Amino acid sequence: MPRDPLLDTIAQTPPATLVDPFQRTIRYLRVSVTDRCDFRCVYCMSEDMTFLPKAEILTLEELDRICRVFVRLGVEKLRLTGGEPLVRRNILWLVESLGQQVQSGALHDLTLTTNGSRLAIHADALAACGVRRVNVSLDTLRPDRFKAITRWGDYGKVMEGVRTAKAAGLAVKINCVALKGVNDDEFHDLVAWCGEQGFDLTFIEVMPLGDIDGDGGGQARVDQFLPLSVVRAELAKRWTLTESDHRTGGPARYVTVAETGQRLGFITPLTHNFCESCNRVRLTCTGTLFMCLGQEDAADLRTPLRRNPNDDGPLIDAIREAITRKPKGHDFVISRRRRDPAVSRHMSVTGG
């Protein structure tokens, strides 16, 4: 009997995209591929961290499978982060596999956030896999200060990584966490340096994620917290900042620096003004899906993934159910009265 053409149409129709209860379509997945890191940045980790046991961590094949399912469900942009994504063994295998999704046109953007320590080794391979942009975290241009902030980092290696990435044709964006009394005398220098290098620059406000100093994470962050409104006002004294309508669906707002032509971003996660357009969810290396960076609610994708090695149906159902729970917004607070972190997990778990 001839096959009913309707059945073929149904089989070829991609599953419906992910839309949350507030009519936000999920287009962006950030994946923390490891919680480990070769740095111990003071605002991110304590020096003495306990990392996840290896058995709990998804294999690269499992991460690849989840990412591909998300792409089938309409995700167009994927960012690998961590911890430090480039310390995960064999990570280029995953980048290469996801790069095929870029080549096929299913994925529009495959990017990476890195501390730059291993970029000199991997930049050429990343570019060859289809990565076109990388975000590199750099809070200072002074080697001694870099050591004080990252505890274990090597400034020279990061600079070499940045140079190699640029030479490989990758667009580099610098992320800088604004820290009161630590790097607040360098913001003009960073804008000037990024202008010379042709890099965009984004300043980030310190977020209350995870215990960093053994006191519950409260006091150190209150001391370090610097509102970006202050940073912007200071920068406006020397640079001509023109409003830009560039949007990523995230907490960043952008201006253009007229003197350098580069974009300058301000990530102010403590204000609620970005949640209405939030298009992203975050996957940890254990297969836990966080629907909001600033909330504890999460969904377990590892169980449906491992129980059904040959059937993506249960995984898709679990993702859809999770998206119905995406909250309207977050509840970050940094205050002098509150000493515990608003969210107990570290940024390196969920991925920044």
Contact 318, 254 (CB under 8 A): no
Burial letters 25-63, b for 16+ CB under 10 A, else e? ebbbbbbbbbbbbbbbbbbbbbeebeeeeeeebbebebb
- Beta carbon of residue 135, minimum distance to ligand SAM (angstroms, whole number): 6
Alpha helices in 204-338 (DSSP H): 218-224, 228-235, 302-307, 313-323
Give the integer Cα–Cα distance in Å for 24 and 28.
11
With contacts defined by CB under 6 A, how many residues of the chain interact with ligand SF4? 12
Site for ligand SF4 contains 37 (CB under 6 A): yes
Site for ligand SF4 contains 45 (CB under 6 A): yes
Sites for ligand SAM among residues 142-181 (CB under 6 A):
175, 177
Site for ligand SAM contains 268 (CB under 6 A): no
Give the integer Cα–Cα distance in Å for 20 and 320.
9
The enclosing H or E element of 157 equals helix 155-167
- The binder of ligand SAM chosen from 34, 101, 111, 137 (CB under 6 A): 137
- Beta carbon of residue 43, minimum distance to ligand SF4 (angstroms, whole number): 7
| x/- letters, 185..204, toward ligand SAM (CB under 6 A) | -------------------x
Q: Which stretch binds ligand SF4 (CB under 6 A): 39-47, 203-211, 224-232, 257-265?
A: 39-47
Site for ligand SF4 contains 137 (CB under 6 A): yes
Choose from ligand SAM, ligand SF4, none: what does 40 bind? Cβ within 5-8 Å by kind: ligand SF4
| DSSP string over 53-108 | PGGGSPPHHHHHHHHHHHHHTT--EEEEESS-GGGSTTHHHHHHHHHHHHHTTS-S
41 backbone dihedrals φ, ψ, rounded to 5°: -55, 140
Q: Which stretch binds ligand SAM (CB under 6 A): 108-116, 225-233, 281-289, 317-325?
A: 108-116
Instruction: Give the residue with the Cβ less far from ligand SAM, 305 or 349.
Output: 349
- Beta carbon of residue 82, minimum distance to ligand SF4 (angstroms, whole number): 6
Site for ligand SF4 contains 183 (CB under 6 A): no
Contact 200, 341 (CB under 8 A): no
Rg (CA), the chain: 20
Site for ligand SAM contains 84 (CB under 6 A): yes
Instruction: Give the residue with the Cβ less far from ligand SF4, 201 or 315.
Output: 201
Residue type, 9: T
Distances (CA, A) of 133 to 21, 128, 129, 340: 32, 12, 12, 35
- Beta carbon of residue 136, minimum distance to ligand SF4 (angstroms, whole number): 10
Q: Which residues bind ligand SF4 (CB under 6 A)?
A: 37, 39-41, 44-45, 82-84, 115, 137, 348
